[in-house]
């Protein structure tokens, strides 16, 4: 039985994907993190690989092993992830920022385990660098239509479109994949997702509840089409 090879629109393209939740250390045995499972980032890595891309997956804390056939880089904290991403910008054709980056990290990172003493303990947090925004500013200083094509995410519980478009403009990314993390069948830990994709002009497409892998395939198809039209 013969077979038709599936088209490989990402052949010879490099795709950088971040996945999982960052870990922000308090002391050697304790940290602050979030509920991200890394499933959406893994799904993007598999989908991009199947489309022929050379994939680099920057992983923070994730559930389960990463997919095969992709280069894996580990980055524990937001600051480590920023470094891992910025050092690979010029070689990337597409960037998919699926990671749930902690917005804040502990102001002090103690070298020794904190001993219990008083009845209350206050943990002071300081804002992390915004990786997506840093990428956007770097790209904005380059010629229009230049790579990489940047896909950001927006996790919201209310006013999805307003917040998503605000993030797209503020962080200067090309596409935003927005999801209502409070919806059943979407968001952290779920096998499926329900997303709306926005470009600078507004809503591009609503993707109804489906497996994260299929969400990734559809979002990549949209991104490839738009990136090709920009450079045509």
Contact track, Ca ion, 145-174, x by CB under 5 A: ------------------------------
Nearer to Ca ion, 17 or 78 (CB): 78
Q: Are strands 14-19 and 54-59 parallel, antiparallel or unpaired?
A: parallel
Measuring CA to CA, which residue among 34, 79, 75 is closest to residue 56? 75
Determine whether the annotation assigns residue 129 to a binding site. Answer: yes
| Closest distance of CB 120 from ligand CTP, Å | 27
> Residue from 72, 130, 199, 209 that binds ligand CTP (CB under 6 A)?
130
Q: What is the largest CA-CA distance in the chain?
A: 73
Nearer to ligand CTP, 172 or 226 (CB): 172
Q: Which phi and psi (to 5°) does residue 13 adopt?
A: -105, 145
| Distance between CA atoms of residues 87 and 90, nearest Å | 8
Measuring CA to CA, which residue among 4, 46, 16, 38 is closest to residue 187? 38
| Closest distance of CB 97 from ligand CTP, Å | 4
Nearer to ligand CTP, 51 or 78 (CB): 78
| Distance between CA atoms of residues 93 and 115, nearest Å | 47
> Residue from 61, 105, 167, 212 that binds ligand CTP (CB under 6 A)?
167
Determine whether the annotation assigns residue 8 to a binding site. Answer: no
> Residue from 91, 103, 205, 230 that binds Ca ion (CB under 5 A)?
103
How many residues bind ligand CTP (CB under 6 A)? The answer is 14
| Distance between CA atoms of residues 117 and 149, nearest Å | 51
CA Rg, the chain, in Å?
Answer: 18
175 with 153: CB under 8 angstroms?
A: no
> Residue from 15, 59, 131, 165 that binds ligand CTP (CB under 6 A)?
131
> Residue from 16, 17, 78, 84 that binds ligand CTP (CB under 6 A)?
78
Nearer to Ca ion, 54 or 198 (CB): 198
Measuring CA to CA, which residue among 124, 113, 119, 193 is closest to residue 153? 193
| Distance between CA atoms of residues 3 and 73, nearest Å | 34
Q: Is 179 a catalytic residue?
A: no
- Residue 152 forms beta bridges with which residues? 176
Determine whether the annotation assigns residue 130 to a binding site. Answer: yes
List residues binding Ca ion (CB under 5 A): 103
List residues with catalytic annotation.
34
Binding residues: 103, 113, 129-132, 153, 167, 171
List residues binding ligand CTP (CB under 6 A): 78, 97, 99, 101, 103, 128, 130-132, 152-155, 167
């Amino acid at each position: 039985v013969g077979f038709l090879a599936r088209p490989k629109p990402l052949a010879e393209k490099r795709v950088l994907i971040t996945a999982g939740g960052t870990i922000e250390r308090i002391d050697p045995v304790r940290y602050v993190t979030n509920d991200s499972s890394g499933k959406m980032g893994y799904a993007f890595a598999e989908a991009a690989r199947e489309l022929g891309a050379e994939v680099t997956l920057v992983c923070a804390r994730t559930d389960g092993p990463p997919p095969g056939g992709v280069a894996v880089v580990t980055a524990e904290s937001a600051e480590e992830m920023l470094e891992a991403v910025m050092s690979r910008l010029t070689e990337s054709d597409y960037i998919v920022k699926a990671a749930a980056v902690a917005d804040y990290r502990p102001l002090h990172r103690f070298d020794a385990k904190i001993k219990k003493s008083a009845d209350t303990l206050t943990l002071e947090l300081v804002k992390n660098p915004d990786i997506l925004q840093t990428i956007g500013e770097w790209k904005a200083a380059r010629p229009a239509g230049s790579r990489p094509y940047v896909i950001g995410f927006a996790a919201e519980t209310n006013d999805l479109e307003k917040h998503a478009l605000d993030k797209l403009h503020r962080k200067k990314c090309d596409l935003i994949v927005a999801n209502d993390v409070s919806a059943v069948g979407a968001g952290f830990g779920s096998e499926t997702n329900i997303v709306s994709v926005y470009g600078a002009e507004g809503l591009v497409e609503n993707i109804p509840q489906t497996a994260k892998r299929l969400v990734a395939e559809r979002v990549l198809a949209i991104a490839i089409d738009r990136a090709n039209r920009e450079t045509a």
